[in-house]
A and B are shown apart, each in its own frame.
Chain A
């Protein structure tokens, strides 16, 4: 069964600190993995998208890693800011040929940045 597991479920850190969120998946065959940031009551916003051949991708203070062998990904946030408080969702697409993209969502990590 295709699944995406994220940890921790929630995390609280102080402003300015770094943190790392984890994602393990069993989606097969793998196509790509995406990290989204979702503010409460808003739609998810894409942070990174990584394919099988990519190990690391950065977007400002966000750095995602992918290990396709162990089927693990991480999202590292550097020098956190209050505006980073949100849910971070790991999403994996299975490679199923031509057609609309059907995605498998993780449950998300709720990150809270305290001043």
Chain B
């Protein structure tokens, strides 16, 4: 299995809703990432988990709450979002290594619309 699977593919939520995005990989990667991507812009890093521990939080608002329950799963819990949070949310995974040849695999993303 060489894929990163994200669910759901599309999500529409109100500003008072609570929802979660899910990400799963079975490549044995011990680093997992959440990115936010607006239209016609490159992905922006939000969070990094290394060995199931949060290692980087890029000053993301607390209405986004990440969780890494085990080495294969990564969740992003959403609460009280704003319309400007509408974007494509990408999950990625990689080896934790100094070796340059290791790849970095992205999921297909969740298209989130906040109404």
How many A-B residue contacts, CB cutoff 8 Å? 72
* A111 located at the interface, meaning its Cβ lies under 8 Å from any Cβ of chain B in the complex: no
| B34 CB, min distance to chain A CBs, angstroms | 12
Whether a CB of chain A sits under 8 angstroms from the CB of B60 is: no
- Helix, strand, loop or mixed for chain B's interface? strand
Residues from chain A with Cβ under 8 Å of B104 in the complex: 34, 46, 91, 93, 101, 103
- When the two chains form their complex, are residues B100 and A99 in contact, meaning their CB atoms are under 8 A apart? no
Q: What is the CB-to-nearest-CB distance from A114 to chain B, in angstroms, rounded to a whole number?
A: 19
B100 with A32: CB separation less than 8 A: yes
- A→B interface (CB under 8 Å): 31-32, 34, 36, 41-46, 49, 51-52, 89, 91, 93, 95, 97-103, 105-108, 110
With A32-B101, A43-B106, A100-B31 given, can you name 7 additional A-B contacts, CB distance below 8 Å? Answer: A43-B4, A43-B107, A46-B105, A89-B42, A97-B98, A98-B98, A103-B45
